[in-house]
């Protein structure tokens, strides 16, 4: 079965640079979530989209923005990168935004140097 696809898998950026992470949800899934996971930490919710509209917002810095496109894929844009942004970034998708099974991608490991 098709899973959530994230790209790139690894990304190295310098401080103050920008980065764009992409997420392709499971076919027919209309809801996308972004999570950030630091080393040894639990995933922290950043932002979610349902039917191309932002549905919820968590601890996402103002330097980050995201959107969901007409084909339901989503992009997380990160600007003015800081060392503390180094983490695993996961995208998850579900069918509907209300308490349905959410399936995670393999993540993008972002390293800011």
Residue numbers at the binding site for other proteins (CB under 8 A): 4, 31, 33, 35, 41-45, 48, 50, 55-58, 90, 94, 96-107
Q: Of 17 and 101, which has the nearer Cβ to other proteins?
A: 101
User: Rounded to the nearest whole angstrom, what is the least distance from the CB of residue 22 to other proteins in the complex?
Assistant: 15
Q: Of 19 and 35, which has the nearer Cβ to other proteins?
A: 35
Torsion angle defined by CA atoms of residues 73, 77, 83 and 84, in that order, rounded to the nearest 10 degrees? -70
Q: How many CA atoms lie within 13 A of 81 on its CB side?
A: 20
Q: Of 17 and 56, which has the nearer Cβ to other proteins?
A: 56
User: Rounded to the nearest whole angstrom, what is the least distance from the CB of residue 56 to other proteins in the complex?
Assistant: 5
């Amino acid at each position: 079965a098709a899973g959530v696809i994230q790209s790139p898998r690894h990304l190295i950026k310098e401080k103050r640079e920008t980065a764009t992470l992409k997420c392709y949800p499971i076919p027919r899934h209309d809801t996308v979530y972004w999570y950030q996971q630091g080393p040894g930490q639990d995933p922290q919710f950043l932002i979610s989209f349902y039917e191309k509209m932002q549905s919820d917002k968590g601890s996402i810095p103002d330097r980050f923005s995201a959107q969901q496109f007409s084909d339901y894929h989503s992009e997380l844009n990160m600007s003015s990168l800081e060392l503390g942004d180094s983490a695993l970034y996961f995208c998850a998708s579900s069918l509907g935004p209300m308490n349905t099974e959410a399936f995670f991608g393999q993540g993008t490991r972002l390293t800011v140097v």
